[in-house]
Amino acid sequence: MFLSVFDIFKIGIGPSSSHTMGPMTAAVHFLDQLSSGEGGTFDPASADRITGSLHGSLAFTGKGHATDRAVFLGLMGFRPDAVDADLAEAKLEKLMQDHQLNVANCGTLRFDPASDLEFDYGPALPLHANGMKLSAHDAEGSTILAETYYSIGGGFIMTEAEMLSANDAPDADLHDEQEAAGYPYPFGSAAEMLAMGAKSDKTIAQMKRANEETAMSPETLRNQLNAVWSVMDGCIARGLSQDGILPGGLNVKRRARAIHQRLTNQTGLNSQQPHSINDWLSVYAMAVNEENAAGGQVVTSPTNGAAGVVPAVIRYYRDHCVGATREGIDEFLLTAAAIGGLVKHNASISGAECGCQAEVGSASAMAAAGLCAALGGTNEQIENAAEIALEHHLGMTCDPAMGLVQVPCIERNGMGAIKAVSAASLALHGDGTHFMPLDNCIETMRQTGVDMAEKYKETSLGGLAVNLPEC
């Protein structure tokens, strides 16, 4: 399986890629199946009602992640990358009142948001922590279509059949798959990536670009990279301009705007501390994740919960680094996507699978590699930067208070950005040789995630999520 840069960086909405974007995409997929008659021997016109259920982490933290709202929007035909906020709110309000869905080839179907989507707090479904079921019934109550979906992180979904097929299949060799598909640089591990770079005398970004251009023109690639960065930068700008309280009930106050204003006022003053650069990194990241928490438009990087790290470090590169160029941003994104693809293929980017080490840890590794590349690092230095950043997130749990992507998630993105810059800087001071290979670090993260207790993996049943102030 080839993971494009646009698989890793997907434009969507907050607050969660696995709990918002994934379920919305699953609902749209189910709608497409139902309206086309695909997957069954039924007449779409016989459909009368839709029901569903959320399981595992989707149930435990679904309210805080707006999973139910995402399913409702998906069943009304909204897709994560093209949500008109005003239209969505109007349609949601209408659905709450009339309990009806208008589905192509099916007509008007019954769906009561209050009772037709169940939060099942029992054991998770067997194949993944993030499971959901959707069913369509005829007027007599018989089920005419049923599908089980798993939201596997980063907005990716798989049906039960796809999961079973993937589990039953022999371990895929990503190199062989990509080579057979005609990609010129089919690396499935960091070791292969470095070997191919050495043999071809190409950078990681150049190899990634060549792979992408097997499916699109250089101009299309350039335009789509511009679009990704434009949404990232726009998200930072919105976050830096907003005040108020974030939704969800924790009464968390937006802080990015006030911090940014203080930093701007201090610029050039002798009273500004040298470590204030960390504050700039943090405020860029916090701006993104405050927007994400509010349900705004973000880019998975590689997830929504970790969406602030990569944009913050790119903004730091553009506005604070000597010699920054627009081409450097493209090189950053291509390199970061290459690292993100390796992590996803060989371990996970899902907090529900491996904790926050798989989200902010992966994002920090991607950002460290991207910055190192943009600043002229060698392939070996880039791999070293990614390893340093990921290594120092190992074991990090995912324990969001009340299931909201706010505490500790917003500040955690700032810390991930700071670690990424430090990792890139350390790597650039070396020659690329180091003790622990990135591949080994990725495997350690996977093993740690397998061993991690479920209560620390996005269920909000342990850690900070249960140690809250009493008042």
Q: At what angle do helices 256-266 and 276-293 cross, to 10 degrees?
A: 150
- In the 8-state DSSP scheme, what is residue 457? B
- The residue extents of the domains of the chain are 16-168, 184-465
* pLDDT tens by residue, 165-216: 988 876 556 667 776 678 999 999 999 999 999 999 999 999 999 999 999 9
Q: Where are the beta strands (DSSP E) in 241-372?
A: 297-299
So what's the pLDDT on residue 89?
A: 92
Pairwise CA distance, residues 238 & 245, whole Å: 15
Cα end-to-end distance, the chain, whole Å: 50
In this structure, are residues 231 and 307 in contact, taking their beta carbons and an 8 Å threshold? no
Across all residues in the chain, what is the average pLDDT?
A: 95
Quick one: fold of 16-168? 60s Ribosomal Protein L30; Chain: A; (3.30.1330)
Tokens coding 108? 């008007």
* pLDDT tens by residue, 44-99: 999 999 999 999 999 999 999 999 999 999 999 999 999 998 899 999 999 999 99
So what's the pLDDT on residue 39?
A: 62
So what's the pLDDT on residue 38?
A: 77
So what's the pLDDT on residue 173?
A: 64
Any idea how long the chain is?
471
Pairwise CA distance, residues 417 & 425, whole Å: 12
Closest CA to 367 of 284, 439, 254: 284
Which parts of the chain sit beneath pLDDT 50?
Answer: none
